[in-house]
């Protein structure tokens, strides 16, 4: 038997237990470049226990809805931010300490940062080129825990 | 009298003295997510002398060509990466130790990382929403040097 999860719009408040929403809501913290550019400063809790913070690119196949969620993962040694390189919303799945998943969809031009140790689904772009910049820990040693759901969830709007 | 600079396509080779081109050229370093996602691993020389590496967002007005270049800047305490959050190419200006500028245009879905201390122009999107994620040093103290050209450069294709 499949369990259903409904996708909600991503909001700072709903996502706060899991990470940071990276967007330009509100006023910039500072205007730079002679007033032509707004800086929304230091919007993610970037946090690695060792190694270094680095920038990688992910290119993912697109996923279709309903999405069958059977796996979540977490990285005990570091936060992980996903910055979409196109204006396409993407699906974001997180789970709490009790492994109860929640699903969100981003707005265009919105990234997210999973706090260190947060359970989350794998990268699930729904449209566009599936290209993301990823800011996470670069270092040696295992930094991946996985949990497989015996009964998968069906994720949809 | 105005001096002219021609814009060249951005290539790893031409940009190497100044920084890193962040794109998915070539094969991924690793396939993840059951083979559905390629990781292009650790593509930027992220380098801060103190403080922390953080993620900010920049929202810039668009610039028109020919672009009048009268100012370059550099950050002695840290590298600075610009990840476009749309598929729009943008203008990248750098200068060598002799303050001779060079201008490049990115391909869609391409970011750049200025190495620590590299002279560069301000953010100059040419089309699209002008939204970028910026990965740079978060910390106290001055981290900006500017150079004003007495005679501006006119930058164009």
HEC profile for chain A? Answer: CCEEEEEEECCHHHHCCCEEEECCCCCCCEEECCCCEEEECCCCCCCECCCEEEEEEEEECCCCCCEEEEEEEECCCECEEEEECCCCCEEEEEECCCCCEEEEECCCCCEEEECCCCEECCCEECCCCCEEEEEEEECCCCCCEEEEEEEEEEEEC
Interface of A with B in 94-113 (CB under 8 A): 109, 111, 113
0.90 cut: is pTM over it?
Answer: yes
Q: Do A109 and B86 touch (CB under 8 A)?
A: yes
Supply B39's token pair: 């990781």
* Segment A47-69, tens digit of pLDDT: 999 999 999 999 999 999 999 99
Q: Do A87 and B87 touch (CB under 8 A)?
A: yes
Q: Do A42 and B122 touch (CB under 8 A)?
A: no
Kindly state whether A39 is in contact with chain B, defined as any CB-CB distance less than 8 angstroms: yes
Kindly state whether B38 is in contact with chain A, defined as any CB-CB distance less than 8 angstroms: yes
Strand, helix or coil for residue B15: helix
Q: Which fold does the domain B3-156 belong to in CATH? A: Jelly Rolls (2.60.120)
Q: How large is the average pLDDT for residues B17-21? A: 98
d(CA B77, CA B141): 9
Q: Do B37 and A123 touch (CB under 8 A)?
A: yes
Q: What percent of chain B has pLDDT over 90?
A: 98
How far from the centroid of its chain's Cα atoms is residue A62's Cα? 15
Q: Do B37 and A43 touch (CB under 8 A)?
A: no
What are A80's strand-pairing partners?
Answer: A114, A136
Question: Which residues in A lie closer than 8 A to residue B86 (C-beta atoms)?
Answer: 85-87, 109
d(CA A80, CA A136): 5
pLDDT for A1: 64
Average pLDDT, chain B: 97
pLDDT for B1: 64
Q: What percent of chain B has pLDDT over 70?
A: 99
Q: Quick check: B148 pLDDT over 80? A: yes
* Segment A75-92, tens digit of pLDDT: 999 999 999 999 999 999
Kindly state whether B121 is in contact with chain A, defined as any CB-CB distance less than 8 angstroms: no
- Do residues A127 and A65 make contact, with C-beta atoms less than 8 angstroms apart? no
How far from the centroid of its chain's Cα atoms is residue A34's Cα? 33
């Amino acid at each position: 038997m499949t369990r259903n999860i409904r996708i909600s719009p991503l909001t700072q408040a709903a996502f706060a237990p899991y990470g940071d929403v990276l967007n330009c809501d509100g006023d910039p913290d500072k205007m730079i470049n002679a007033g032509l550019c707004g800086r929304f400063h230091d919007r993610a809790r970037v946090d690695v226990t060792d190694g270094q913070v680095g920038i990688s690119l992910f290119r993912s196949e697109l996923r279709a809805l309903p999405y069958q969620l059977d796996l979540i993962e977490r990285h005990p040694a570091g936060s992980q931010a996903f910055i979409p390189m196109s204006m396409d919303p993407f699906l974001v799945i997180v789970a709490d300490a009790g492994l109860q998943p929640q699903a969100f969809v981003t707005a265009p031009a919105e990234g997210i940062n999973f706090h260190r140790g947060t359970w989350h689904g794998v990268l699930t772009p729904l449209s566009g080129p599936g290209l993301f910049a990823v800011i996470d820990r670069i270092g040696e040693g295992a930094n991946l825990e996985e949990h497989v759901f015996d009964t998968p969830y069906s994720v949809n709007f």
